Amino acid sequence: NAEPTDNQPPFSRSAAEFERAKRVIPGGSMRQATWFAPHPPYAVRGEGCWVEDLDGRRILDCANNFFSLVHGHAFPPVVEALRKVVGDGTAFGMPTRHETALAEAIRSRSPRCEQIRFCNSGTEAVMFAVKAARALTGRPAIAKFEGAYHGSYDSLEVSLGSDPSNWDGSGGDPAAVPYDRGTPAGVVADTVVLPYADADRCTAILEREAPRIAAVVLDPLASKIGMVPPPAATIEAIRNAGTRHGILLICDEVITFRLSHAGAHPLFGLEPDLIALGKIIGGGLPVGAVAGPAARMAIFDHTRGQPPVAFGGTFSANPLTMAAGLAALDAFDLPAVDRLNRLGDTLRSRVNAAFTEAGVAAQMTGFGSLFRLHLTAAPIRDYRSCYPDAAAKKALAAIHLTMLDAGVLLTPNCSGALSTPMAAAEISLIAHALVEATLAERTGR
Ligand code: PLP
């Protein structure tokens, strides 16, 4: 057990814990997406929007577990809901009423989510939605947008790296680049990559590949694409592919469900055939769900005398997750959503005004309670425009560390999500720290 000692610099309990963890966990932790050198701080406890780390530091949490904790940590109604159900048992090979109650709550917010099936993660949700789309259309391929992340599912882990070396730079069709070693060539071949901001090229690709494409998967505010809404012409291209060729639309709302009471699809005029959900609908516990119109969701119905698309999961719809999710959504009502989105507007306008006033080439994108920093004044249109030069990624990583030193946790690419315990004081703190860190990085002062 590596306890920190005076002769073991850097003296930090988190550093010591990391050394200990590396022996039994490859990379020291499974939190790859939020890892940064030399190691992230270890969390001990959280309350509201604040986290305490192993070294006793208080950190304002804008990462809130990959944007899943819309009410922050240990939200009292969620804690109370968990207390109430935990004594009755944590998982059953039988349905429970908690599952129906959460499905009803989601449907009452979002008419497009007429029926819902629960699973354990957003990755599973995307995977089941893709499986359903393939079964509904009898086609093998899936189209996704260059740069977009949809979980750890290899069919969609294609052309998502934010590493500029993936760029082909030719202005041609985006290449289908596998993200991980071990992705079979057949999987890559069945993934069609679309450019986010070039609707004509999008249409050309969809027309050419239509006979083999089951669905287009779209995250309506993909962080890795820059956290900008899909251009109207791109939405039109997807809609045309649906009407002309029967290509389905899967909206990945694993993150964006928080953007309105009904999710992001109504905000951008999208009419998805299937919707992948996760994160906030579990109230802080592991969750995923596929939702959609009953006619589409019937593909999962095992009671109709036809082989359904299999949708398993030992812990799917467990009562703890369902009760926590219901408590979280009940408290994220229309006024709460509006209030949080307005805080996001305030943050963006304050930060962007400060950048303009200082004449610094930087901007904050986002929508509602989601935000992301960019080190360019040029419009952010797609994955490619997020990193205007190779140095931008390094500079963002440096700003991320400066923010952490200032006591504010963002994701390593300097994006974040607000949570309902935040108020004007926290927005001021984030804005001030972010502007200071960006100016220091950009002007070298
Ligand atoms: N889809 C999107 C847009 C995501 O951001 C994520 C996770 O961050 C996922 C899917 C996968 O969700 P999970 O991490 O719960 O598997």
List, for residues 178-202, the tens digit of each pLDDT value.
887 889 999 999 999 999 999 999 9
Q: What integer is the mean pLDDT of 140-164?
A: 88
Residue whose entry in the numeric block shows the structure tokens 């009410």: 71
Write out the DSSP string of 84-147. Answer: HHHTT-S--SS--HHHHHHHHHHHHH-TT--EEEEES-HHHHHHHHHHHHHHHH---EEEEETT
Q: What integer is the mean pLDDT of 77-101?
A: 98
Query: For ligand 1, atom 7, which residue shows the shortest CA distance?
Result: 151
Q: How confident is the model at residue 356 (pLDDT cuts 50, 70, 90)?
A: very high
Q: Which of 183-187, 347-351, 420-424 comes out lowest in average pLDDT? A: 183-187
Supply the pLDDT for residue 250: 98
Alpha-carbon torsion (116, 117, 118, 124), positive or negative: negative
The proportion of the chain whose per-residue pLDDT surpasses 90, expressed as a percent, equals 84
Q: Compare 182 and 75 and report the one with higher pLDDT.
A: 75
pLDDT at 1 over 60: no
Say yes or no: 90 and 139 in one domain: yes
3: in domain = no
Q: What integer is the mean pLDDT of 117-128?
A: 98
Say yes or no: 67 and 210 in one domain: no
Say yes or no: 131 and 46 in one domain: no
Q: Compare 88 and 304 and report the one with higher pLDDT.
A: 88
Domain endpoint, select from 305, 331, 357: 331
**In ligand 1, which atom is closest to the CA atom of 67?**
8
Supply the pLDDT for residue 162: 53
Packed helices 390-405 and 424-443: angle between N→C axes, nearest 10 degrees:
130
104: in domain = yes
Residues ≥6 apart with Cβ < 8 Å to 428: none
7: in domain = no
Q: What integer is the mean pLDDT of 358-382?
A: 96
Q: What integer is the mean pLDDT of 59-78?
A: 97
Identity of residue 255: I
Supply the pLDDT for residue 170: 64
pTM above 0.90, yes or no: yes
List, for residues 201-251, the tens digit of each pLDDT value.
999 999 999 999 999 999 999 999 999 999 999 999 999 999 999 999 999
Domain endpoint, select from 314, 331, 348: 331
Smallest CA-to-CA distance from 317 within 105, 97, 70, 76 is with 97
> Rounded distance, CA 123 to CA 281, Å?
14
Q: Residue 265 belongs to a domain with what CATH number?
A: 3.40.640.10
Assess whether the C-beta atom of 372 lies below 6 angstroms from ligand 1. Answer: no
**What is the best residue among 123, 124, 274 to mutate for testing ligand 1's pocket, by most ligand atoms within 8 Å of CB?**
123
156: in domain = yes
**In ligand 1, which atom is closest to the CA atom of 126?**
10
Supply the pLDDT for residue 363: 98
Say yes or no: 148 and 221 in one domain: yes
pLDDT at 163 over 80: no
Packed helices 319-331 and 76-86: angle between N→C axes, nearest 10 degrees:
150
Assess whether the C-beta atom of 128 lies below 6 angstroms from ligand 1. Answer: no
Instruction: Report whether 146 contacts 197 (CB < 8 A).
Output: no
Supply the pLDDT for residue 9: 42
Say yes or no: 168 and 115 in one domain: yes
4: in domain = no
Instruction: Report the separation in Å between the CA atom of 276 and the middle of ligand 1, taken as the mean of its atom positions.
Output: 9
Q: What integer is the mean pLDDT of 117-137?
A: 98
| Domain range for 152 | 76-331
Say yes or no: 37 and 139 in one domain: no
Say yes or no: 85 and 100 in one domain: yes
Assess whether the C-beta atom of 255 lies below 6 angstroms from ligand 1. Answer: yes
Instruction: Report the separation in Å between the CA atom of 287 and the middle of ligand 1, taken as the mean of its atom positions.
Output: 10
Q: What integer is the mean pLDDT of 274-280?
A: 98
Say yes or no: 23 and 145 in one domain: no
Q: Residue 427 belongs to a domain with what CATH number?
A: 3.90.1150.10
Say yes or no: 414 and 362 in one domain: yes
Assess whether the C-beta atom of 252 lies below 6 angstroms from ligand 1. Answer: yes
308: in domain = yes
Packed helices 199-209 and 232-245: angle between N→C axes, nearest 10 degrees:
20
Smallest CA-to-CA distance from 281 within 20, 26, 103 is with 103
Assess whether the C-beta atom of 150 lies below 6 angstroms from ligand 1. Answer: yes
Give the chain's domain count. Answer: 2
Q: Compare 373 and 27 and report the one with higher pLDDT.
A: 373
208: in domain = yes
Supply the pLDDT for residue 161: 66
List, for residues 314-333, the tens digit of each pLDDT value.
999 999 999 999 999 999 99
Instruction: Report whether 51 contacts 61 (CB < 8 A).
Output: yes
Q: How confident is the model at residue 40 (pLDDT cuts 50, 70, 90)?
A: confident
Query: For ligand 1, atom 5, which residue shows the shortest CA distance?
Result: 255
pLDDT at 434 over 80: yes
List, for residues 288-299, the tens digit of each pLDDT value.
999 999 999 999
Q: How confident is the model at residue 264 (pLDDT cuts 50, 70, 90)?
A: very high
Domain endpoint, select from 316, 331, 346: 331
Instruction: Report the separation in Å between the CA atom of 221 and the middle of ligand 1, taken as the mean of its atom positions.
Output: 13
Say yes or no: 67 and 81 in one domain: no
Say yes or no: 129 and 114 in one domain: yes
2: in domain = no
pLDDT at 165 over 70: no
Say yes or no: 173 and 204 in one domain: yes
Instruction: Report the separation in Å between the CA atom of 436 and the middle of ligand 1, taken as the mean of its atom positions.
Output: 31
Supply the pLDDT for residue 164: 54
Supply the pLDDT for residue 167: 60
